[in-house]
Amino acid sequence: MDFNEKLKQLRHNKEWTQEELAEKLFISRTAISKWESGRGFPSIESLKAISQVFDVSIDELLSNSELISIAENDKKKQQQKFQHLLLGILDCMAGLLLFLPIFGQAQGKDIAFVSMWQLSSETAALKSVSLVFVILIVLYGFFEIIFAHKEQIAVIRISLILTLLGVLLFIMTRHPYPSTYLLMILAIKGLFLLERH
């Protein structure tokens, strides 16, 4: 007997509705419906709760192949969450461009290194565009951190594209050090994503 049939049978033995079981497990009724229809498996934490509610062991609920499938699925979700957290942290690190003195600015015959805030007013348009772009990357990094539990491949693509656009922006504006800094962040993201696949 498969897990979905066992769960349905255990629930019927207790004469509980899907809503009643969902309340006891602190989950939605749709999750119970999904599991009972065989369209998915609960997480390890939900399995523990199910075994406690029905006073059965997890081994009685699942076959070996089902248990392996759940463990693999949980591991994959944890890796995706870590991946999004790392990408978010790297994107937030782009905010250091606001404060690091790595922008070259002509001062007479010399070039002084200043932070983005200290760029002169003669480059106000460039400063504004760069500032808006860096803030956008940082805000997107916070978004990635907050929603790290969501499975969205588009989030990874947007993170990579934003960083690449930042590299190109600073190359076109002839700021080699900020572009190198973002290129290093992009390389770390790329290496991490290659390692994961």
Report which of 108, 193, 112, 93 is spatially closest to residue 153, judged by C-alpha positions: 193
Domain range list for the chain: 3-62, 77-196
In sequence order, what are the residues at sequence separation of 6 or more whose Cβ sits closer than 8 angstroms to the Cβ of residue 128? Answer: none
pTM of structure: 0.66
How confident is the prediction along the chain (197 residues), in pLDDT tens digits per residue? 788 889 999 999 999 999 999 999 899 999 999 999 988 888 888 889 999 999 998 888 887 778 788 888 888 888 878 888 888 999 999 999 888 898 888 788 888 888 887 877 656 777 788 888 899 999 999 988 888 766 666 778 888 899 999 999 989 888 899 999 999 999 998 888 787 65
In sequence order, what are the residues at sequence separation of 6 or more whose Cβ sits closer than 8 angstroms to the Cβ of residue 166? Answer: 94, 133, 134, 137, 179, 182
The rounded distance, in Å, linking the Cα atoms of 36 and 16 is: 13
The rounded distance, in Å, linking the Cα atoms of 157 and 104 is: 31
**Domain 3-62 is in which class?**
mainly alpha
